[in-house]
Amino acid sequence: MRRAIVAGNWKMHGSRTENARLIEELLAHCPAQPAATCVVCPPFVYLQETGRMLRGSVLSLGGQDVCADAQGAFTGEVSAAMLKDVGCEYVIVGHSERRLLYRESDQLVARKFGAAHAKGLVPILCVGEQLADRDAGRTHEVVARQLDVVLELCGAGALERGVVAYEPVWAIGTGRNATPEQAQDAHEFIRARIGARDARIAAATRILYGGSVKAGNATELFAMPDVDGGLIGGASLKADEFLTILAAAGPG
């Protein structure tokens, strides 16, 4: 049985004061034993302080990005070892904002996945098509390309601990989520693609849905058989909404 994950991607939001308030509220109202794994991913500069607040709690810490290289002259970059050092267990790689706004290629994303995996972090690999791709019927093709580069470079074995997040770009921050059926179709495809290389790993890989997940639509999305939780942007900044989404990812 796959344990669901609900991860909050704070993106470039927050301040020390706002973060403290959000974490306090989350810790005050989070169940002692949530049915799903819960992760928060603050901006780099707040990781250490957020990690300190989360210590001993059921909430885990994740980064939003990682450098593909281990160390050296890479101004502005943050390595997987550094993320581990400040208490991260997870890291998002290949978010569509990184791919589109900062021109991260499939190859670079795959190297980031490998770097995170090598240091014992759980990489959350984001894949997903743009609206034009979906309209042209190319959703599977795009997702397969993004996934295959990682499978080629890192091997299916790297997904043993890894997580995939299917995030259709047209659904991110738009308030227009994929329907549960659209999500299930893509998730089933992703699992089969991994399964073509290793059926056991495919059955165990957590595949999260991301893109306008809210308290009001989480239950129906998470009810789909291949949807194992969610990667949450906007709604992860509101404690009550995020906790409702977390509860929706429970078993059943």
* Contact set with ligand PGA (CB under 6 A): 9, 167, 172-173, 210-213, 231-235
* Closest approach of ligand PGA to the CB of residue 8, in Å: 9
Q: Which residue among 95, 97, 117, 241 is the active-site one?
A: 95
* Closest approach of ligand PGA to the CB of residue 234, in Å: 4
* Closest approach of ligand PGA to the CB of residue 40, in Å: 13
Q: Of 229 and 233, which has the nearer Cβ to ligand PGA? A: 233
* Closest approach of ligand PGA to the CB of residue 6, in Å: 11
Tokens (6 digits) for 3 = 């344990």
Q: Of 98 and 191, which has the nearer Cβ to ligand PGA? A: 98
Residue nearest to ligand PGA (CB): 233
Q: Of 14 and 233, which has the nearer Cβ to ligand PGA? A: 233
Q: Of 41 and 156, which has the nearer Cβ to ligand PGA? A: 41
Q: Which residue among 97, 167, 187, 241 is the active-site one?
A: 167
Of the candidates 239, 189, 251, the one whose C-alpha atom is nearest the C-alpha of residue 30 is 239
End-to-end CA distance of the chain: 11
Cα–Cα distance, 160 to 182 (Å, whole number): 25
At a CB cut-off of 8 Å and minimum separation 6, what does 61 contact? Answer: 39, 40, 41, 42, 47, 50, 51, 54, 86, 87, 88, 89, 90
* Closest approach of ligand PGA to the CB of residue 24, in Å: 22
Q: Answer yes or no: are the C-beta atoms of 133 and 144 closer than 8 Å.
A: no
Q: Of 138 and 214, which has the nearer Cβ to ligand PGA? A: 214
16-29 and 239-248 helices cross at what angle (nearest 10)? 40
Concerning whether 167 is annotated as a catalytic residue, the answer is yes
Token look-up 């849905």 returns 209
At a CB cut-off of 8 Å and minimum separation 6, what does 153 contact? Answer: 107, 110, 111, 113, 114
Concerning whether 29 is annotated as a catalytic residue, the answer is no
Q: Answer yes or no: are the C-beta atoms of 41 and 7 closer than 8 Å.
A: yes
**CA torsion angle 16 249 157 199 (round to 10):** -170
Which sequence positions are flagged as catalytic?
A: 95, 167
